[in-house]
Structure 1
Amino acid sequence: MNAPLRLAVFDMDGTLMDSQDFIVEAMTRAFVDMGLDVPARSEILSIVGLSLFEAISRLKPNLPEDRVSAASQKYKDMFIKLRAERGGEASAPLYPGARQALEDLHKRDEVLLGVATGKAMRGVDHAFKAHDLAGFFVTKQTADLHPSKPHPSMLLSCLSDTGAVKENAVMIGDTSFDIEMGRAAGFRTLGVTWGYHSESALRTAGADILISDFADVVAALDELWSVSA
């Protein structure tokens, strides 16, 4: 009897890639250019994973919608400029152990991999090219094509793309938005503590398992899949 399909969906920023310096610098430049007070680094990192409009709305709740839209575009412009200055997404490294975990999972015929990220598709394509990641993933869902996390739309599209069922699917992420999205879609959830939200925030969001090292990803996924089997 063939093993059922298993689906593992990864967040990108703060989970696969350490892109915090890129994000903070681009947001800082955007706010300065628009004459807005710059939020603290911790505030900026707290909104990573949300769609850009939602993220800036949370950082500046009293900002009119047209100014939020302008700030969103300014952030995109600054991010593109930074990408050119720093040699592209390769300057935002993968976390230690990420590639090995992806390789180990990719070797298993019953396991399919996806990404669900607050990045736009253009940013994902740049990151995939810079880090040679495209061959690992069969589905990629981005903030410019879906409602912002924690809405489950991205994960429901992952299921549709792969033919997997939610009972055999796991969302892996570093923020409460990832965990809440996973739970909303009926996925198991794996929280990673090396990213942008605290361990307590991940627990409060309802993560089924927390890990602090990429070397533990495969074992944690197997544990979650065994529960759903």
Structure 2
Amino acid sequence: MAEKADILVVFDCDGTLVDSAHNVIACMRAAFEGAGLPAPQDTEIRRSIGLNPDVAVRMLAGRPLGDGLLEQIVAGYKSAFFQRRLQADHHEPLFPGARETLAALAADKVPMAIATGKSLRGVNAVITQHSLQDYFISLQTPDHNPGKPHPQMLEKAMAAAGTTSARTFMVGDTSFDMMLAKNAGCRGIGVNWGYHDEAELLESGAERLIGRFEELLEIVRSA
């Protein structure tokens, strides 16, 4: 098909490209317990996925945290995740259709990026694990950006692609992703296989909802 170099498709990582909830839950529970605090409920941790770790920890704590305690929990979470990746049985599988959709968009010469609450080290680990090195022109993470829904991650990705917000799709599974898209003036595409339900995605600004990755190709190709 004709090249769509003016279009940019930006993906969230956890809950959109890869299923990492089991790892996030285990590491967040360990971080809170390591700081001498009760572990949050699994359902609440799942709902926090997509936020920067410090924002997620504050939300999950349910009470004010001093800077020292906050830093301890965040550091504990990052350390637990790093150690977990070293385990032989560590697994963050791609959701069905993800690889095929990335390959099809690349074949169509559609630039792609990632905007995520996952650390850059974590994103690179996912990319290496699944051999996705050739797909993304920009990796936007909390390492050098404010967290979602601040628009900076999308603004940087658009600058790298040389495109506009009207031609940029933000594909994600949470209300944080859809609010990010809205704040950046981009088009939010919500996926229903992740960590927030369809009603939340629509209420937070999703233009469309998809139930299969293949539906994204139809949307992009008709843009």
By the TM > 0.5 criterion, same fold? Answer: yes
Q: Indicate the residue corresponding to 2:140 in structure 1.
A: 141
Letter in 2 for 1:12: C
Q: Indicate the residue corresponding to 2:150 in structure 1.
A: 151
Q: Indicate the residue corresponding to 1:31 in structure 2.
A: 32
Q: Secondary structure at the match of 2:112?
A: strand
- Distance in 2 of aligned mates of 1:205 and 1:82: 33
8 Å contact 2:27–2:80 — kept in the other structure? yes
Letter in 2 for 1:80: F
Within 5 A, what are the aligned runs for 1:124-203? 124-203=123-202
Greater helix proportion: 1
Deviation per CA, 1:169-198, whole angstroms, max 9, x where unpaired?
Answer: 010000000000011111011000100111
- Distance in 1 of aligned mates of 2:217 and 2:3: 20
- Distance in 2 of aligned mates of 1:3 and 1:199: 29
Normalised TM-score (structure 2): 0.95
8 Å contact 1:27–1:75 — kept in the other structure? yes
Q: Indicate the residue corresponding to 1:103 in structure 2.
A: 103
Q: What is the aligned-residue RMSD (CA, Å)?
A: 1.4
Give the Å deviation of 1:69. 1.2
8 Å contact 2:5–2:111 — kept in the other structure? no
Within 5 A, what are the aligned runs for 1:31-70? 31-60=32-61, 61-70=63-72
Percent identity between matched residues is 36
8 Å contact 1:190–1:220 — kept in the other structure? no
Letter in 1 for 2:82: I
Q: Secondary structure at the match of 1:136?
A: coil
- Distance in 1 of aligned mates of 2:220 and 2:60: 34
Q: Secondary structure at the match of 1:85?
A: coil
Aligned residues: 221
- Distance in 2 of aligned mates of 1:222 and 1:65: 47
Q: Secondary structure at the match of 2:86?
A: helix
Normalised TM-score (structure 1): 0.92
8 Å contact 2:105–2:217 — kept in the other structure? yes
Give the Å deviation of 1:222. 3.4
Which sections of structure 1, spanning at least 5 residues, go unmatched?
none
Within 5 A, what are the aligned runs for 1:86-101? 86-88=88-90, 91-101=91-101
Report the CA distance shift for 1:183/1:30 in structure 2 as closer, same or farther (over 3 A).
Answer: same
Letter in 1 for 2:14: D
8 Å contact 2:35–2:69 — kept in the other structure? no
